[in-house]
């Protein structure tokens, strides 16, 4: 038996019956401790509780403000005592509320743009508004609601409809009586000898011999402990990196704020392509342009664009500052660096060169269940000799198999690859194939490689969409960016 329960039984044995406040005074326990002890004693049949239910009013913040300053209609009523007021002069939100309620109560009317008191409004002068008086009384004594309701039911319902007050039914314990079982167990309680916690003083002072220890019920439900866990999206990013690294890829990084040259032009995307419109791309105003350092490569891309697309290439458009729309801009920088060294015959790496990146990208998209304006994308590149689409298919199939997703390929067109393919993933929930990303062999106009024996394979795909393929309980990728801790705690560990 806990010491709180012992104190309660000891007090009730002496008095037989006590009020809740009286029992608090006798035992010296606080409200929460006493309630806990009474609930336990009631469960084992040691005490009987006599309870009552009482309606009490809870005043909201707006109601509290009006309880001191008066309701809007009360203030406006006093203002109209001096005469009619032009409605157009009453512009504040509170005055507009006052007009609404004065008209609703029949205390004022509007004629020819003027607000004036009715006969009922004139009679109400000096008496005040009933609801204002009730708010003041409830602010001082919330428990007076039941008494006030007998005479002011309509006015109180009005306050509730305006959400100025809410009513709660509070159950309170009026009397506590000890039962025969409680009397039988009370004499055996040795409060002074009950130990419910072991601390240093008990051990060092050897105070436990001859004392009674509290018995613990190991079956009592306890508050659940929420283990720390990583966000599902962050876990997936980690899995993606592990999959690439396990296959000999090297992770690369690049800036999120980039020039249009590396995001679009270096990927052989024409300057009039729809993706370069402001409706699809986020442009940065400060700075609005960025410097292009690799003059030789810029000239080669100018020649490639004008020869391939038969239009004048504008370097100012290439200098525009944008938020990267894909991670391929990062790959483009690294591919250029590797090819440049290769052309200079620098032996700084072993073939094939395998690179990947995972990062945030930004597109001016309409948000739906599989599109976001800010999302993660993964990108991969392989530079090597005698590479074909078969190598690409094999690599991607192995990567996605490690990630637990089945994929397949179909021909498609992308400006920076030739031939190009689109790959799709199987979505179990809908029993359908969903587009994941694009892939192919990077065009020679981009790489600058004239040797047919050296190829560059490239691909890119969204990460959040991969999460949809893996977890059928996620209905929209927008769920991954919510702020619900409860949602995260309920996620299954993958």
Confidence of residue 90 (pLDDT cuts 50, 70, 90): confident
pLDDT tens, 107-126?
888 888 888 888 888 888 87
In this predicted structure, what is the pLDDT of residue 192? 45
Q: At 21, list the tokens.
A: 């406040």
Look at 96-110, 255-269, 478-492 and tell me which has the smallest mean pLDDT. 478-492
Which residue, chain included where needed, has tokens 């052309």? 343
Q: In the predicted model, is pLDDT for residue 212 greater than 80?
A: no
Q: Do residues 31 and 24 lie in contact, with contact meaning Cβ atoms separated by under 8 Å?
A: yes
- Say how far apart CA 305 and CA 309 lie, in whole Å: 5
The residues of the chain that CATH labels 3.30.930.10 are: 234-256+324-490
Closest of 323, 251, 248 to residue 285, by C-alpha? 323
Residue 29 has pLDDT above 60, yes or no: yes
Tell me the average pLDDT across 56-64: 83
116 Cβ contact partners less than 8 Å away, ≥ 6 residues apart:
80, 83, 84, 85, 108, 109
Q: How many Å apart are CA 149 and CA 59, to the nearest integer?
A: 15
Q: Are 489 and 394 in contact (CB under 8 A)?
A: no
**pLDDT band with cut points at 50, 70 and 90 for residue 98:** confident
Identify the weakest region by mean pLDDT among 149-153, 435-439, 482-486.
482-486
Q: How far is CA 184 from the centre of its chain?
A: 55
For residue 260, is pLDDT > 90? yes
Q: What is the pLDDT of residue 189?
A: 47
CA angle 305, 309, 311 (to 5 degrees): 85
What is residue 141's predicted lDDT score, i.e. its pLDDT? 82
Instruction: Identify the pLDDT of residue 317.
Output: 92
Q: Which two tokens stand for residue 469?
A: 């393929």
Could you write out the DSSP letters of every residue in 307-342? HHH-S---HHHHTBEEE-SSTHHHHHHHHHHHHHHH
Share of the chain above pLDDT 90, in %: 21
Note the CATH number of domain 234-256+324-490: 3.30.930.10
Structure tokens at 88: 């157009």
**Above 80 in pLDDT, residue 352?**
yes
Q: What is the pLDDT of residue 194?
A: 64
pLDDT more than 70, % of the chain = 93
CB–CB of 144/137 below 8 Å? yes
Average pLDDT over residues 19-48: 86
pLDDT at residue 193 in the model: 53
Per the model's pLDDT, the better-predicted residue between 143 and 32 turns out to be 32
Q: How many CB atoms lie within 10 A of CB 152?
A: 18
252 pLDDT exceeds 70? yes
């Amino acid at each position: 038996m806990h010491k709180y329960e012992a104190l309660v039984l000891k007090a009730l044995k002496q008095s037989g019956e006590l009020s809740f406040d009286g029992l608090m005074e006798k035992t010296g326990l606080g409200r929460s401790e006493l309630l806990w002890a009474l609930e336990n004693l009631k469960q084992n049949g040691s005490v009987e509780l006599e309870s009552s239910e009482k309606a009490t009013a809870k005043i909201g913040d707006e109601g509290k403000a009006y309880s001191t300053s008066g309701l809007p209609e009360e203030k406006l009523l006093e203002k109209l005592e001096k005469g009619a007021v032009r409605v157009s002069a009453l512009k504040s939100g509170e005055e507009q509320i006052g007009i609404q309620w004065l008209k609703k109560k029949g205390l004022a009317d509007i004629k020819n743009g003027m607000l004036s008191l009715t006969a009922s409004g004139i009679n109400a002068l000096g008496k005040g508004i009933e609801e204002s008086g009730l708010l003041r009384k409830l602010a001082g004594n919330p428990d007076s609601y039941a008494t006030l309701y007998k005479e002011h039911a309509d006015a109180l319902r009005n306050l509730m409809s305006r959400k100025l007050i809410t009513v709660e039914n509070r159950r309170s314990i009026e009397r506590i009586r000890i039962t025969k079982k409680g009397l039988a167990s009370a004499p055996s309680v040795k409060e002074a000898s009950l130990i419910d916690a072991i601390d240093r003083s008990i051990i060092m002072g050897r105070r436990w011999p001859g004392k009674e220890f509290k018995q613990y019920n190991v079956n009592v439900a306890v508050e659940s402990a929420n283990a720390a866990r990583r966000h599902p999206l962050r876990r997936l990013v980690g899995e993606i990196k592990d999959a690439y690294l396990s296959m000999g890829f090297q992770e690369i990084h690049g800036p999120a704020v980039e020039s249009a040259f590396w995001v679009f032009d270096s990927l052989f995307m024409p300057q009039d392509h729809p993706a370069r419109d402001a409706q699809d791309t986020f442009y940065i105003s400060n700075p609005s342009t960025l410097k292009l350092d690799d003059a030789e490569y810029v000239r080669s891309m100018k020649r490639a664009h004008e020869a391939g697309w038969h239009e004048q290439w504008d370097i100012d458009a290439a200098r525009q500052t944008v938020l990267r729309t894909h991670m391929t801009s990062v790959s483009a920088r690294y591919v250029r660096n590797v090819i440049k060294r290769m052309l200079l015959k620098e032996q700084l790496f072993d073939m094939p060169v395998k690179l990947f990146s995972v990062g945030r990208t930004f597109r001016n998209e309409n948000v739906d269940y599989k599109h976001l304006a800010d999302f993660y994308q993964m990108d991969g590149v392989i530079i090597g000799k005698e590479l074909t689409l078969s190598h690409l298919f094999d690599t991607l199939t192995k990567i996605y198999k490690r990630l637990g997703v089945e994929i397949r390929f179909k021909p498609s067109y992308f400006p920076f690859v030739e031939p190009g393919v689109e790959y799709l993933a199987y979505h179990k929930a809908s029993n359908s194939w969903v587009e994941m990303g694009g892939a192919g062999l990077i065009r020679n106009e981009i790489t600058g490689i004239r040797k047919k024996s050296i190829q560059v394979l490239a691909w890119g795909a969204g990460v959040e969409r991969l999460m949809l393929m893996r977890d059928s309980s996620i209905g929209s990728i927008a769920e991954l960016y919510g702020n619900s801790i409860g949602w995260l705690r309920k996620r299954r560990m993958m």
